[in-house]
């Protein structure tokens, strides 16, 4: 059974804190993605990675960075959390070629 896991289901952080969200997939997928999902806006792509140490900005990269040191792990970093980064964060992976994306269960982050 394919699996994408995320380090936390719920997270509460204070403004200005550095936040790490971890994602691990066990399908040997080349592509990994970080999205945020907000009511009425749908899923928006923050960053994606198509190989180890490779990354590309998505549509809303400001305030975020990523790290992919190993194929199975893709981390999202909020350098200095702000209240407008309160959201549901979803990680996904896929094989190359525009095929199905597999999602993790999501991390609901609240920044106070």
Positions that interact with other proteins (CB under 8 A): 31, 33, 35, 40-45, 48, 50, 56, 58, 90, 96-98, 100-101, 103-106
Q: Least distance in Å: CB of 14 to other proteins?
A: 24
Block residue for tokens 């975020």 = 64
Block residue for tokens 């990680």 = 91
- For other proteins, give the closer residue by CB, 18 or 59: 59
- For other proteins, give the closer residue by CB, 48 or 74: 48
Asked if 75 and 68 count as a contact pair (C-beta separation under 8 A), the reply is yes
- Give SS3 for 49: strand
User: Any idea what DSSP says for residue 30?
Assistant: S
- For other proteins, give the closer residue by CB, 1 or 17: 1
Q: Least distance in Å: CB of 29 to other proteins?
A: 11
Q: Least distance in Å: CB of 18 to other proteins?
A: 25
| DSSP codes joined into one string, 70-104 | ETTEEEEEESS--GGG-EEEEEEEE-TTT---EE-
Q: Least distance in Å: CB of 106 to other proteins?
A: 6
Give me 56's structure tokens.
């590309």
- For other proteins, give the closer residue by CB, 5 or 65: 5
């Amino acid at each position: 059974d394919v699996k994408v896991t995320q380090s936390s289901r719920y997270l509460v952080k204070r403004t200005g804190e550095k936040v790490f969200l971890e994602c691990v997939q066990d399908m040997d997928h080349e592509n990994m993605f970080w999205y945020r999902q907000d009511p009425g806006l749908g899923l928006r792509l923050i960053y994606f990675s198509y190989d180890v140490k490779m990354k590309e900005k998505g549509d809303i990269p400001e305030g975020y960075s990523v790290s992919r040191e190993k194929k199975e792990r893709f981390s999202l970093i909020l350098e200095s959390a702000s209240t407008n980064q309160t959201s549901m964060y979803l990680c996904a992976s896929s094989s190359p070629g525009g095929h199905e994306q597999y999602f993790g269960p999501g991390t609901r982050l609240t920044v106070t």
